[in-house]
Amino acid sequence: MTSQGAQADIGLIGLGTMGGNLALNIAENGFRISVFNRTLEKTDQFIAKAGALAEKLVPSKTLEDFVASIASPRAIILMVPAGDAVDAQIAALRPLLDAEDLIIDAGNANYHDTNRRAADAEAQGPRFMGIGVSGGEEGARFGPSIMGGGAKDAWDQVGHILEAISAKHDNEPCAAFLGAAGAGHLVKTVHNGIEYADMQMIAEVYGVMRDGFGMSSNEIGDVFEKWNGGILQSYLIEISYKVAKTADPETGKPMLDIILDKAGQKGTGRWTAIEALMLGTPASAIEAAVATRNMSARLDERKKGEAEFGAAPNELDREAVSIDALEAALIAGKIICYAQGFGLILEAAKQYGWAMPLPEIAKIWRNGCIIRSAMLNDMSAALADDDERNLMLAPFFSDKLKETEAMLRQVVAQAALHGLPVPALSAALSYFDIMRTSCSTANMLQGQRDFFGAHGFERTDKDGTGYHGPWAMG
Ligand code: NAP
């Protein structure tokens, strides 16, 4: 197809929550953008509401007109639901595009799908990129964090647009090219997994304050607000204090007393846990967060459990666990959860041969995305120093863990004694304890494996592998 009359710098398909806001963001940054939506009325409504930005928007009623309205080589962003819709849209576009055109899937794709689509694109064109876009509706409109994956020359074609529309931190764009094929979507997945664990740990210390200390939502909100002025400063702590301090307009009660304790999920946390297991890298705090959402959904079962076993004796001795100890536990838990997340990315980078610049990833998470936080600055510096080292061994973070470890232990121990579930913090503590010991209990596992399956083991006193125990003789 020729590009006669083409004027737009870029095109976008899917004017839903994310796509519509992303298109306005692109237009506001001075780029001319063609838009297309499966349901045509949505396009009309979108243009009607765009105000002055409408002059930068080029609506089309057919896919053919849409394609023809974009300057060659064309770049087309897809913002449609992940999965079949992406494949269907690529199939519909392929006959209309030239080999050097570029399709960019900006939805929350499973990175295995992105790997497959990138391979298909290599074989039959057009070019393909998968980018992770974080920050929800507001991020899409005013500046998301963008995690780019695909061919580097494709990034070079559209990177200036993606950097322009991204969030900024100290004037640096929160958008970067991270590696080939599914690299961007893998990083977005891990971002979401970390988000699950970060949120879960905050919910756990909320639970200790509510059920262990009997504090009101407002009092808990005050604590989170204070913490937001320190090392824990983050979007998630900020929204937590705002959620805790908000009253229900209907009843006047705290919103948290009105919101049912059944957590939803769209699957990216689960993907992170699955990837961690598949890549053989520990992400136990993230796995605990996913499992806890699954448990929360089983409200009827939980009610039966409480009827059977009675409610736990939650009340805590304020002498045994202080508010400061809770803050310290959260600091330690957060460091460990990020150590696991970056460890997972490192492992994927090795497995797939992707560039994955870890310090850059920490940098582009500093603004625009849900897990933005002050600590990411220090993480970026630590990873720049040595990106192969476990983050908890970087001097800044090992010092922090030495300061906070005892309090994490105290919080987890007291919570366990009083029936207050802290699964993500417990998982973080167990990870810490295992990763700081050179003498684990896996010798017993190896003995058992050799006993029943002759799997062999290494010896502590000799080199080599494949030793067996004298079990048969016993
Ligand atoms: P949405 O509001 O439901 O919009 C979906 C859009 O895709 C609509 O324009 C819809 O068109 C179109 N669409 C649906 N099925 C299609 C198909 N089979 N073929 C062509 N077009 C189709 O979804 P969204 O929240 O914007 O999410 C879009 C993507 O961004 C998803 O991958 C999501 O996971 C990801 N994401 C969302 C968020 C968030 O906070 N919402 C954050 C980050 C990433 P119609 O008008 O015709 O239905």
Q: How far apart are CA 112 and CA 351, in angstroms?
A: 13
**188 a catalytic residue:** yes
Predicted confidence at residue 203, as pLDDT, reads 98
Q: How far apart are CA 240 and CA 228, in angstroms?
A: 10
CB 359 within 8 A of CB 441: no
List all residues 6 or more positions away from 340 whose beta carbon is below 8 Å from its beta carbon: 197, 276, 281, 282, 283, 284, 285, 286, 431
List all residues 6 or more positions away from 108 whose beta carbon is below 8 Å from its beta carbon: 82, 132, 185, 188, 189, 192, 266, 268
Instruction: Using the mean position of ligand 1's atoms as its centre, give its distance from the Cα of residue 344 in Å.
Output: 28
Q: Which residue has the tokens 């020729």?
A: 2
Three-class DSSP category at 115: helix
Three-class DSSP category at 54: helix
**Which tokens belong to 343?**
């460890």
Predicted confidence at residue 473, as pLDDT, reads 55
Residue 109 Cα: closest atom of ligand 1: 32
Instruction: Indicate the DSSP class of residue 194.
Output: H
Q: How far apart are CA 108 and CA 95, in angstroms?
A: 25
Q: Which of 46, 60, 79 to mutate to test the pocket of ligand 1 (most atoms within 8 A of CB)?
A: 79
Positions in the chain short of pLDDT 50: 1-6, 474
Q: Is the CB of 15 under 6 A from ligand 1?
A: yes
Q: How far apart are CA 28 and CA 58, in angstroms?
A: 14
Predicted confidence at residue 319, as pLDDT, reads 86
Residue 137 Cα: closest atom of ligand 1: 40
Instruction: Using the mean position of ligand 1's atoms as its centre, give its distance from the Cα of residue 18 in Å.
Output: 7
Closest C-alpha among 101, 77, 102 to residue 12: 77
Three-class DSSP category at 267: coil
Instruction: Using the mean position of ligand 1's atoms as its centre, give its distance from the Cα of residue 21 in Å.
Output: 11
Q: Is the CB of 370 under 6 A from ligand 1?
A: no
Predicted confidence at residue 1, as pLDDT, reads 40
CB 162 within 8 A of CB 87: no
Which is the catalytic residue, given 56, 195, 327, 363?
195
- Residue 10 backbone dihedrals phi, psi, to 5 degrees: -160, 160
**Which tokens belong to 224?**
């989170």
Q: Is the CB of 17 under 6 A from ligand 1?
A: yes
Predicted confidence at residue 265, as pLDDT, reads 83
**Protein residue closest via CA to atom 8 of ligand 1:** 16
Q: How many CB atoms lie within 10 A of CB 386?
A: 12
Cis-peptide into 126, omega within 30 deg: yes
Instruction: Using the mean position of ligand 1's atoms as its centre, give its distance from the Cα of residue 436 in Å.
Output: 44
Closest C-alpha among 335, 326, 126, 73 to residue 213: 326
Q: Which of 43, 45, 80 to mutate to test the pocket of ligand 1 (most atoms within 8 A of CB)?
A: 80
Q: Is the CB of 343 under 6 A from ligand 1?
A: no
Q: How far apart are CA 115 and CA 351, in angstroms?
A: 13
224-248: burial string, b at 16+ Cβ within 10 Å, e else: bbebbeebbebbbbbebbebbbeee
Whether the pTM exceeds 0.75: the reply is yes
Which is the catalytic residue, given 56, 188, 245, 334?
188
List all residues 6 or more positions away from 141 whose beta carbon is below 8 Å from its beta carbon: 21, 22, 24, 25
| Pairing label, strands 75-78, 102-105 | parallel
**Which tokens belong to 432?**
């810490």
Q: Is the CB of 137 under 6 A from ligand 1?
A: yes
Instruction: Using the mean position of ligand 1's atoms as its centre, give its distance from the Cα of residue 118 in Å.
Output: 21
Q: What is the pLDDT of residues 167-192, one digit of tens each?
A: 999 999 999 999 999 999 999 999 99
Q: What is the pLDDT of residues 56-68, one digit of tens each?
A: 999 999 999 999 9
**Which tokens belong to 60?**
């089309």
Instruction: Using the mean position of ligand 1's atoms as its centre, give its distance from the Cα of residue 132 in Å.
Output: 14
**Protein residue closest via CA to atom 1 of ligand 1:** 16
CA-CA-CA-CA dihedral for 392, 396, 400, 403, to nearest 10 = 120
How far, in Å, are 134, 165, 167, 241 from residue 157 at the CA level? 21, 15, 19, 42
Instruction: Using the mean position of ligand 1's atoms as its centre, give its distance from the Cα of residue 106 in Å.
Output: 10
**253 a catalytic residue:** no
Residue 134 Cα: closest atom of ligand 1: 43
Q: Which domains does the chain have, with CATH numbers?
A: 10-181 (3.40.50.720), 188-435 (1.10.1040.10)
Long-range CB contacts (< 8 A, 24+ apart) of 375-378? 375/231, 375/232, 375/234, 375/334, 375/335, 375/338
Q: How far apart are CA 379 and CA 331, in angstroms?
A: 13
Closest C-alpha among 207, 212, 218, 210 to residue 254: 218
Q: Is the CB of 383 under 6 A from ligand 1?
A: no
Q: How far apart are CA 10 and CA 158, in angstroms?
A: 9
Length of the chain: 474
| Pairing label, strands 102-105, 57-59 | unpaired
Instruction: Using the mean position of ligand 1's atoms as its centre, give its distance from the Cα of residue 99 in Å.
Output: 26
Q: Is the CB of 77 under 6 A from ligand 1?
A: no
**Protein residue closest via CA to atom 13 of ligand 1:** 80
Q: Is the CB of 192 under 6 A from ligand 1?
A: no
Q: Is the CB of 38 under 6 A from ligand 1?
A: yes
**Which tokens belong to 219?**
């009092």
